[in-house]
Amino acid sequence: MTNAQLTRYDRRMQEIMNRREAAPLYATAGRRRVLVAVHIGLTVATVTAGLAADIGGSMVAMWVMLALVLPWCIATGAINASTRGLLELRRRVLDERQRAERSEVLARAHRITTGLLFAVAATVIGYGLAGGSTGRPALMALIVGFVAHWLMPMWVAGLRAQDEPDDE
């Protein structure tokens, strides 16, 4: 698709996703792995704090969750920048290579999430068969499964992103 056929929104998003100010955060494969690991850790901590605030009614847990949101957003932006907006840009903005990469990332994330959801369902069912009440654990498992399903494509894309070619 030519640049003239893109909307103003498409051009702006493409510009944002191709900014290089945060490039030192994700310049190498090792840094991208660390970035994705930090994002996963922040996600786990945020969801845990949110669930703790819900269960215990703790304001401290709520404040912890709110404090984690800003670093989580920064890490999310860095992962999206490392993939040059592979999952954030509209399909019509991507070239053929990026479209193929996006399809591969989504398929791989889907397979990983399917396995994770199977494990979570088996755990909740096992807990219920052992005589436990499955109401609250099933709700927590559903929340964790939803968050993993939502973020897994971004994590997979961040781990699969290639290094930028060296300047000659």
Segment 60-117, tens digit of pLDDT:
888 999 999 999 999 999 999 999 889 999 999 999 999 999 999 999 999 999 999 9
Q: How many separate helices (H) and strands (E) can be counted in the chain?
A: 6, 0
Q: Which DSSP state fits 27?
A: S
Instruction: For residue 9, tell me if it sits in a domain.
Output: no
**Residue type present at position 6:** L
pLDDT, position 2: 55
Domain housing 63: 25-87+94-160
Nearest-angstrom CA–CA distance, 38 and 159 = 12
Number of domains in the chain: 1
Instruction: For residue 165, tell me if it sits in a domain.
Output: no
pTM: 0.84
Instruction: For residue 14, tell me if it sits in a domain.
Output: no
Instruction: For residue 34, tell me if it sits in a domain.
Output: yes
Nearest-angstrom CA–CA distance, 71 and 43 = 10
Instruction: For residue 19, tell me if it sits in a domain.
Output: no
Q: Whose CA is closest to 76, among 6, 150, 136?
A: 150
Instruction: For residue 12, tell me if it sits in a domain.
Output: no
Instruction: For residue 1, tell me if it sits in a domain.
Output: no
Instruction: For residue 7, tell me if it sits in a domain.
Output: no
What percentage of the chain's residues is helix, strand, coil (to nearest 5)? 80, 0, 20
